[in-house]
Amino acid sequence: MARFRTVCRGRPSLMRTVFFAAFLYLLSILYINSNYLRAHWSSRSSGMGQSYSEDLPADFWSRPPHQGARTCRPRSNFVFIKCMKCASETMASVLRRYTYRRNLSAVLPVGKRLYLGWPYTMTSDDFRPSRRGYNALIEHAIYNSSSMRALMPPDTVFITMIREPFQHFVSVLNYFNVFNLSNTRNFTVAALSSEEASVHRNWCQVDIRLYEHFNRSFWKKIRQQGADFVHEVVYFKQVLQAVKSFCDKKASYGDSRIEFPESRWSLPFMSWPKSAASLLATSLTFLTV
């Protein structure tokens, strides 16, 4: 059983966190001009301070700031189906911290295992018992509706990440060293021809249609958010980079902290060395809590 501590109020909801993470994943191949946005933060250590900024429109800070109002309810019960080579471990690390900070009970593998029965269907022998039931299932497991719904609360939401099927196929070939088998061609990276891509498309119509459907619906939702959503994502990426730089300097933490003022989208907050340690934690760290 994994028991997790609570987190301060005012944190983003689970669904908004997932939405942001998925959006950032897609933006990795796009260019966003952020000259009109400013990331403003300060880092203090032993009385020393620094600030960094970019220009914004003249009326930017005069617009209504974040008032702490919620437009959705945070989810406390969820299953995340990890799909290999779809940035699923990045998402899992976010969800593990979400679970930890909200004192939720997670389904964890028994002993020193990393998977919940994968690549086979999960059984009760694959996870640690919990007297208070479970709120989150994040580690590698084969999706099985009946067994997972029997284990989780009735209002559990199911989340996953998918990737453009052909890119995913090539990534999997490289990850598992398929071309490194004995007596095969001396390939170090899978480079498939257009003919082979066509064969893949003929064999993977279900995956392709699934991806195209959700890709269309995803970008439709993005368009419905308006330009401010993109502004917020750019700001979030800049805050993320600032926190990353702070965490990378862990050897000289001392009593340092990084502070972020109130913005149009959030209340003021700060990050301490303890927060950085959480961000740098691996899956093994959470599996041994």
249 vs 144: CA distance, rounded Å = 43
Beta bridge partners of 51: 42
Amino acid at 10: G
Amino acid at 213: H
Asked whether residue 124 is domain-assigned, the answer is yes
Asked whether residue 49 is domain-assigned, the answer is no
Asked whether residue 7 is domain-assigned, the answer is no
Give the per-residue pLDDT at 137. 96
Give the per-residue pLDDT at 268. 87
Query: pLDDT tens digits, the chain, 289 residues: what are they?
Result: 443 333 333 445 555 555 555 555 555 434 333 333 333 333 333 332 333 333 444 444 444 555 555 567 889 999 999 998 998 888 998 999 899 889 999 999 998 888 999 999 999 999 999 999 999 999 999 999 999 999 999 999 999 999 999 999 989 888 887 766 565 555 555 567 888 889 999 999 999 999 999 999 999 999 998 888 889 999 999 998 988 888 877 655 566 788 888 888 888 888 777 777 777 666 656 666 5
Q: What are the tokens at 160?
A: 């996953």
Asked whether residue 216 is domain-assigned, the answer is no
Residue partners of 185: CB distance under 8 A and separation at least 6:
179
73 vs 66: CA distance, rounded Å = 17
Asked whether residue 210 is domain-assigned, the answer is no
Asked whether residue 208 is domain-assigned, the answer is no
208 vs 197: CA distance, rounded Å = 12
211 vs 53: CA distance, rounded Å = 38
14 vs 24: CA distance, rounded Å = 15
Instruction: Determine the structural domain holding residue 85 and report its residue range.
Output: 74-161
Asked whether residue 231 is domain-assigned, the answer is no
Write down the pTM of the prediction.
0.68
CB 69 within 8 A of CB 149: no
Asked whether residue 214 is domain-assigned, the answer is no
- 63, burial (CB in 10 Å: exposed 0-12, middle 13-18, buried 19+): exposed
Task: Quote the number of domains for the chain.
Answer: 1
Instruction: Read off the DSSP letter of residue 159.
Output: E
Give the per-residue pLDDT at 1. 42
2 vs 133: CA distance, rounded Å = 10
Give the per-residue pLDDT at 69. 52
